[in-house]
A and B are shown apart, each in its own frame.
Chain A
């Protein structure tokens, strides 16, 4: 699996967009970029994933550079409840069972949303 690099921590003002960067310069052509978050020791929560096109859902947008070596997760209007650790993970997408379906979590970015 390609390794990812994320900043240790970031701050964001409430109501503003939070832009969380992730570098994955060794990503392979068949690896997707996944984002999860973990709010204060709760179970990790799936946010979004993508391959090469930008993706958007009700929670966030994912912008992947054309060379796919980096990506940005965007929370368009951050609230205090978005304070969490955000994990960027790259993984092959496919019909894998068992450990091949595992996601390897690094230390992530601690996002603090401030009033």
Chain B
């Protein structure tokens, strides 16, 4: 029972480089989310996707793009990485409807931009 799977788990980038964080869920959930968490802080929403084919900005979208490839997969792309994007990134998913707001999280991706 994999749940929400993120790759890679660790990544070091140089300023200006690009990369994509991959996320997949096997729970047939409709909504998917990307969060970031800086040291000592709570999670902040970057982008979300309410359903396949739709994406919208969250609280801190600048510097990021997303793609909801299909119902299972939701990727986060950094086009030109900056040191301020050094953070832990969490992907999450939720079944819209009967289970309400129970959100399930992946294990996180640690990104360092030097």
Contact = CB atoms under 8 A, between A and B. Distances in A.
Contacts of A99: 45, 48, 56, 58
A93 B98 CA distance: 10
Contact of A107 (B42, B96, B101, B106): B42
A97 interface: yes
Contacts, number: 74
A99 B96 CA distance: 11
B113 interface: no
Interface in A53-111: 87, 91-99, 101-108
Interface size class of A (residues with CB under 8 A): 20 to 34
Interface string A31-62: 01010000001111110010000000000000
A32 B97 contact: no
Contacts of B88: 41
B56 A98 contact: yes
11 contacts: A43-B108, A46-B103, A49-B100, A93-B100, A94-B100, A95-B97, A97-B30, A97-B96, A98-B31, A101-B31, A102-B33
Interface of B: 4, 30-31, 33, 37, 40-43, 45, 48-51, 54, 56, 58, 88, 90, 92, 94, 96-97, 100-108
